[in-house]
Amino acid sequence: MMKALIVLLIVFWTGSVSAQELSVLEIIRKIDATERVASSKSQGKQIITTSGGKKRTLEMIAFSKNRNEKQLMVYTAPKRIKGDKILMLNEGDDIWFYTPKTDRVRHLASHAKRQKVQGSDFNYEDMAGGKIEEDYTCKLLGSEEIDGRKSYKLELIPTESGPHYSKLILWADAERFITLRIDYYEDGELLKRLLCKDIRNIQGHWYAMKLIMTNLLEGGETVFETEEIEFDLELDDTIFTTKYLKRR
């Protein structure tokens, strides 16, 4: 789920223009128009590092609707967390947690968006939706090759209402219009790097099946891997309700 959400965000940021003469705005709008998907259902895994230094793989099915405004994660493995669910509404401002072990739904406190998603190097705001055009002031820095692909290099400076980073540098595939890499800066320091790998065309959508977020300042890496994904599904709104959480 998380992966799907992040990819959606990346997709959101990614431009789809074939010529250098397009303006930055056109590139960004092209990205939005091409890649923002209305809904998705994915199956994948997240690899986290525990406080005891062990690697733990969590498997899940994730749903998203309204361009990440509503998100649901259903954990499937390991057995210990099978059936645990996390529901995020209002772009992560409201979070509910359910575990079949107690059969209770708990409203978790609203998280500041810059807080880290459990066990990972992603922040909630990395996963939140939102228009790149509204959240950033953008500048085209030129074109570079990333993994052998020609890509646009964009500088994104967050607006006042945008994310807390001081700057993002985003590389987007100039043909496929999908993000290949993002460098996150905080107070002028390169903080972390997102690499989007194993890009495939699924139902007409270019999609990165593997996301690797590396914390360059302090170390640590979080990997999201998508095994299957479907786009533009008719997802019932009831899926994204607290009542649905209790459904087995």
Partner 1 sequence: MRDKLLKGIAAGADKKPVIILLVALVITAIMGVMSEQLRLDMHFKNLMPQNHPMVNEFNRIVEDYTSASMIIVAATGEEKQLKSFAEELAPQIRSMKNVIRPVDVTMDTSFINRHGFMLQKAKNLKNNADIFQDLNLIPFLTHLNDSFEKTYVQDEESISTKEKENNAVAFLDGIQTWLTTLDAYITGNGGLQKAQVATDRFLGGETYMISQDKDMLLMMVQPNFTINDLDKVLVTVDSIDALIAEVVKNYSGLEAGTTGTMALSRDETVAASEDMYITSIIAMLLIIALFIVSFRMWVAPVLAGITLIVGVTWTAGFAAVTLGSLNIMTSMFAVILIGLGVDFSIHVISIFTESRAAGQATGKALESALLKSGQGIITGAFTTAAAFYTLTISETAGMAEFGLLAGSGVLFCMLATLVVLPAMLSLRDRMLLRMHREAGTARTTEFGFLGKTAGIIAGKRTSFLIGLVIATALMFWFARQITFDYNYLNMEPEGLKSIKLQHLMEDEFEATPDFAMITAQSIEESRRIAEKAKDMKMVGMVTSISEYIPSKKEQRKRAPYIEKIRMYLKNQPLLRGVRPAQLEKFLEQVCRLQDNIIELAQLAYLGGQDKVDAKCKMLAGDPENPEDSGLFGKLYKDVKTDTRLALQGVNRFQQDIAPLMQHKALRMANADEITLAELPATIADQFLSKKGDKFLITIYPKESVWNFEFLERFTDRMQNLDPRVTGMPLVFYVLIQKIAVDGRNAAMLTLVVVFLLLLWDFRRVSFVLMAMVPLIVGAFWMVGAMYLSGLQLTMVNLMGLPLILGIGIDDGVHLLHRFRYEGGGNISSVFKSTGKAVLLTSLTTMLAFGSLVFATYRGLGSLGIALFIGVAACFLTSVLFLPALLTFVKTDKGNK
Cβ 67 to partner 1 shortest distance, Å = 25
In the complex with partner 1, the residue whose CB is nearer, 33 or 108, is 108
- Determine which residue in the list 23, 115, 137, 201 makes contact with partner 1, applying CB under 8 A: 115
**Cβ–Cβ < 8 Å for 208, 10:** yes
Q: Is the peptide bond before 158 cis (omega within 30 degrees of 0)?
A: no
Q: Which DSSP letter does residue 127 get?
A: H
Beta-sheet strands, E only, within the chain: 39-49, 55-65, 70-77, 85-89, 94-99, 104-108, 136-146, 149-158, 167-173, 179-186, 189-202, 205-215, 221-231
Site for partner 1 in 60-89 (CB under 8 A): 75, 79-81, 84
Contact range with partner 1 by CB under 8 A, out of 14-22, 30-38, 105-113, 206-214: 105-113
- Determine which residue in the list 214, 215, 241, 242 makes contact with partner 1, applying CB under 8 A: 215
Is 204 a residue that touches partner 1 (CB under 8 A)?
no
- Determine which residue in the list 66, 76, 89, 97 makes contact with partner 1, applying CB under 8 A: 97
Site for partner 1 in 153-172 (CB under 8 A): none
In Å, the largest CA–CA distance within the chain is 58
**Half-sphere exposure for 147 (CA within 13 Å, toward CB):** 13
The contact set with partner 1 (CB under 8 A) reads 48-54, 56, 58, 75, 79-81, 84, 97, 99, 101-102, 104, 106-109, 111, 115-116, 118-119, 215, 217-220
